[in-house]
Amino acid sequence: MANNSSNGDNQTTTKPPPLPSPLRFSKFFQSNMRILVTGGAGFIGSHLVDKLMENEKNEVIVVDNFFTGSKDNLKKWIGHPRFELIRHDVTEPLLIEVDQIYHLACPASPIFYKYNPVKTIKTNVIGTLNMLGLAKRVGARILLTSTSEVYGDPLIHPQPETYWGNVNPIGVRSCYDEGKRVAETLMFDYHRQHGIEIRIARIFNTYGPRMNIDDGRVVSNFIAQALRGEPLTVQKPGTQTRSFCYVSDMVDGLVRLMEGENTGPINIGNPGEFTMTELAETVKELIKPDVEIKMVENTPDDPRQRKPDITKSKGITRMGAKGQVAGRPSPYGRGFPFETWSSQVVNANCMNNELQSENFSQQLSNVEGALEA
């Protein structure tokens, strides 16, 4: 592990960034910021679009191949004069004029990224190369959404940005983990070699409305199972931990990182840590106390513990700041954003008609009652 060379601070280039479009200097200065969001029809991307569209000086262009994303997530913006949606795969080059690029395109759930691992690698490597090529040509700043998975099954806890990780290069998750690691390398090589302005966010588990209920991510998975009255399946041993960040905090962090001066990589996530058994018990208690918790075999290379060190992130993204969902008090004692449970349950329910039940309102008030107690 390097002590001092992996957080980006001393990897800055002396090369000036490529010039932005002459439009920026013309007397007919176009004041709108043209922002490209790849993967903008997905879970985090669509919330990011909502946030960017709040600023009337922003024009937002979404590029997505709809592998896991959906037009539904963006329906309120379709037809808006400051919004454009392009069906496009980032593994193909893209020639458009933009000032900033948020590069999110990549399936994030194991079910989807393992479905076609070669495509996942192509999306991470060729897709990121294409976006960096675009950034270079138009002089745009580019932000990559990397992942806590770059730390693999970490030998250091919590994980600071300086940790180089413990990743299996040939495992079934490697298409995602190693794909993101190469994407980070490409970002820094373009930065050093061509002066591109880069930002790298290492995202930890995020949850909230518009998650695909059946994509296997643990929060939505437990809630869906509880609502269906099925056993909550905890992968063995159940002591493995994760930290969960609410999506509004994540998006706030991404925008602050893009607008700030630090290249990253920066961890963005909630440091409150839960074992999978604790999480299952919380869901059971809140949604369906009589549901069974069942231990099942684990998937290969599942990390045993995962918690961001947000020392660096605090100053840049305000992660952990008072007023954030992650910073509010919790009846469970360790910062779990309990207020968001009800909205997660509502959204989980709305996402899938199959889950809509007549007694849902009753379930919801039970949840709220339990939280107030």
Ligand X SMILES: NC(=O)c1ccc[n+]([C@@H]2O[C@H](COP(=O)([O-])OP(=O)(O)OC[C@H]3O[C@@H](n4cnc5c(N)ncnc54)[C@H](O)[C@@H]3O)[C@@H](O)[C@H]2O)c1
Least distance (Å) between residue 69 CB and ligand X = 2
Least separation in angstroms between CB 57 and ligand X: 25
Q: Binders of ligand X among 120-139, rule CB under 6 A?
A: 123, 127
Annotated active-site residue 332? The verdict is no
Nearest partner of 293 among 238, 233, 242, 237, judged by Cα: 233
Q: Give how far Cα 232 sits from Cα of 218, 289, 328, 353, Å.
A: 10, 11, 27, 20
Measured from the CB atom, the residue of 35 and 104 that comes closer to ligand X is: 104
Closest contact distance (angstroms) between CB of 51 and ligand X is 14
For residue 338, give the amino acid letter.
F
Of 67 and 190, CB closest to ligand X: 67
Residues 136-155 close enough to bind ligand X by CB under 6 A: 145, 147
Residue window 50-89: x/- pattern of binding to ligand X, with contact defined by CB under 6 A: --------------xxxxxx-------------------x
Instruction: Establish if 262 lies at the interface with ligand X (CB under 6 A).
Output: no
d(CA 335, CA 121): 35
Q: Closest Cα partner for 337 from 219, 167, 192?
A: 219
Among the residue ranges 6-14, 39-47, 186-194, 339-347, the one whose residues contact ligand X (CB under 6 A): 39-47
HSE of 244, CA atoms in CB hemisphere, 13 A: 21
337 binding ligand X? (CB under 6 A): no
- Specify the residue, 45 or 139, whose C-beta has the smaller distance to ligand X: 45
Pairing between β-strand 266-268 and β-strand 198-203 as defined by DSSP bridges:
parallel
The phi and psi torsions of 138 (rounded to 5 degrees) equal: -100, 0
Encoded tokens for 143 = 């932000």
Q: Which residue type is seen at 355?
A: L
From the list 113, 151, 163, 176, the catalytic residue is: 176
DSSP letter assigned to residue 312? H
User: Which spans of this chain sit near ligand X (rule: CB under 6 A)?
Assistant: 38-39, 41-45, 64-69, 89-91, 104-108, 123, 127, 145, 147, 203, 205-206
Q: Annotated catalytic sites, by residue?
A: 176
